[in-house]
Amino acid sequence: MKKVLIVDDTKNIRVLLTACLELEGYEVISSKNGEEALDLFTKESFDLAFLDIKMPELSGTEVLRRIRSMGFNTPVVIMTAFGTVKNAVECTRLGAVAYLQKPFTADKVRNLLNELKNDASSDIDTNINTAKKLIDELKLESALNVLKNTLPQDINRAEIYSLIGKIYELTGEQKEAERFYNISKQFE
């Protein structure tokens, strides 16, 4: 079951979106603020996140900026009732995959999920390329986070296992490296 994080300071939005997503077969975790969301990202792996732009203390844009700098490439849907071109440009630059205009309906959420499913395969390639770049820059922890978040999207992709093996090899964890290299060979 795919896991989704909802981050919104408005309880009614969290409840409505949770109901919509659970009906579509997702496991949902919700957060009422940006700090809590950042903490959840370090403890859990999410297949998708819905992030409100306008929240007190830590904006959705800042949460998105921080999770990207931590190496998380989770697809993020930006939710807003106050869409501005500046916000849209900045969030797109940070890798937001879609926008959900408030107020929204269950049909809008369902249509958005269908669009995202169609785009998922190209995201895997993007994530693999991002991980390779991070490995080249020796940002191994960030690369590992990207790959661990990508793996559930395509568990049969040999290249993901191979790159994880390379990270473990570079960090001196030879046993783990061999384990992932062996898994990679099974999918070649």
For residue range 84-114, what is the model confidence (pLDDT) as tens digits? 666 666 777 777 888 888 888 888 888 888 8
- Asked whether residue 186 carries a pLDDT value surpassing 80, the answer given is yes
Beta strands in the chain, from DSSP E residues, in sequence order:
3-7, 27-31, 48-52, 76-80, 96-101
CB atoms within 10 A of CB 126: 13
94 and 139, same structural domain?
Answer: no
Q: Is residue 186 within 8 Å of 166, Cβ to Cβ?
A: no
- CATH number for the domain that contains residue 32: 3.40.50.2300
Decide which of 101, 118, 135 is a domain's last residue.
118
Please check whether residues 64 and 148 belong to one and the same domain: no
Q: Which of 76, 102, 118 finishes a domain?
A: 118
Whether pLDDT at 28 is above 90? yes
Q: What is the pLDDT of residue 119?
A: 63
Which residues span the domain enclosing 13? 3-118
Task: Looking at the structure, tell me whether residues 137 and 98 fall in a common domain.
Answer: no
One domain, residues 96 and 138: no
Give the mean pLDDT of the chain.
87
pLDDT, tens only, 119-161: 655 678 888 988 999 999 999 988 888 888 787 777 888 999 9
- Into how many domains does the chain fold? 2
Instruction: Give 77-86 pLDDT, tens digit per residue.
Output: 989 876 666 6
Angle of CA points 129, 136, 155, to nearest 5°: 40
Alpha carbon distance 162, 177 (integer Å): 8
Task: Name which of 177, 146, 159 is nearest 68 in CA terms.
Answer: 146
Give the span between the Cα atoms of 74 and 87, in whole angstroms. 19
